[in-house]
Amino acid sequence: MVDYGSVHRLCLLLVCCFSSISMTTSATPKKAMTVPFSNNYIPTWSSDHIKYFNGGNEIQLNLDNFTGTGFHSKESYLFGYFHMHIKLVAGDSAGTVTAFYLSSNGNEHDEVDFEFLGNRTGEPYILQTNVFTGGVGNREQRIYLWFDPTANYHTYSVLWNSYLITFFVDDIPIRIFKNTENLGVKFASEQPMKLYSSLWNADDWATRGGLEKTDWSKAPFVASYKGFYIDACDATLDDEYCETEGKKWWNQKEYRDLDAAQYRRLMWVHRKFTIYNYCTDKARFPKKPIECKVNKDA
């Protein structure tokens, strides 16, 4: 919950040099501070399969042949910057899925998904993303990651304002979903969302379409998390304020579209790492979905 004004006041006060937060034209989301898991999140199920380290600043989700586990944010948010540092299941992770997503409740829900599909040792992980608006999804994209996501923590994040939703991997935009309500496509504009994450067994579909099964002799499967700070508008506190063009940093002009450098990086990801893109799947969508053109996705 910082705005430029308070950041600059803080800088003056501390006589510090937050050069990385200073006002530049490039609109890379801000770095977050460290807070314990329990400040913002609670377990969703099987809380005994979550382990805590460093005073709760770092956690591990465990999946074994009995159960997986998951957690979610205590509050619901309407717009903001949502991020998580995740180190994915190492070694033989085939059949497992680790997910990090935003979702609202109800039938016509909105959802913004990262899903990491495990694989055999040494084989690449695949990142699947999807966007649901007003209950309609079917907007899958799949990419290879350009690094080994099991070796170190990497940052997976979403910047959501009333203009667009941007997915980032380590601050590199990998996908955008613009508000095209004026063209008749629903956008996530009104429903507050919670953050969710989970690790579970999905060997009926996750790896090579379900051909590769989970090897339970390798259990427990472990995914590690840190970075539990949430920089977003808490809709339980000020729902109406969240919907207006407030002074929150993610509403400012430089966050309403990508800049040229960010578009170049987005195109680099599309060109080099795309495995599947619903925008170019003519069998499923003989008529190209409207948002694909606007998003320069195809």
Six-digit token string for 261: 């450098």
CB atoms within 10 A of CB 57: 16
Burial of 184 (0-12, 13-18, 19+ CB in 10 A): exposed
Q: Considering only 83-91, 121-129, 249-257, 276-284, which stretch makes contact with ligand NAG by CB under 6 A? A: 121-129
- Catalytic site includes residue 240: no
Indicate whether 220 belongs to the interface with ligand NAG (CB under 6 A): no
Q: 75 catalytic, yes or no? A: no
119 touching ligand NAG, by CB under 6 A = yes
Judged by CB under 6 A, which of 124, 137, 220, 246 binds ligand NAG? Answer: 124
Q: Is position 97 an interface residue for ligand NAG (rule: CB under 6 A)?
A: no
CB of 76 or CB of 93, closer to ligand NAG:
93
**143 lies in the binding site for ligand NAG (CB under 6 A):** no
State the DSSP string of 195-257: EEEEEEE-TTTTTGGGTSPP-GGGPPEEEEEE----EEEEHHHHHHHHHS--S-GGGSGGGSS
> Residue 101: how many CB atoms within 10 A of its CB?
21
Set 111, 140, 181, 212: catalytic member: 111
* CA proximity to 50, closest of 42, 35, 61: 61
Q: Is 117 in the site for ligand NAG (CB under 6 A)?
A: yes
Return the residue of 24, 148, 208, 244 that touches ligand NAG, per CB under 6 A. Answer: 208
Which residues bind to ligand NAG, rule: CB under 6 A?
65, 117, 119, 123-124, 126, 207-208, 216
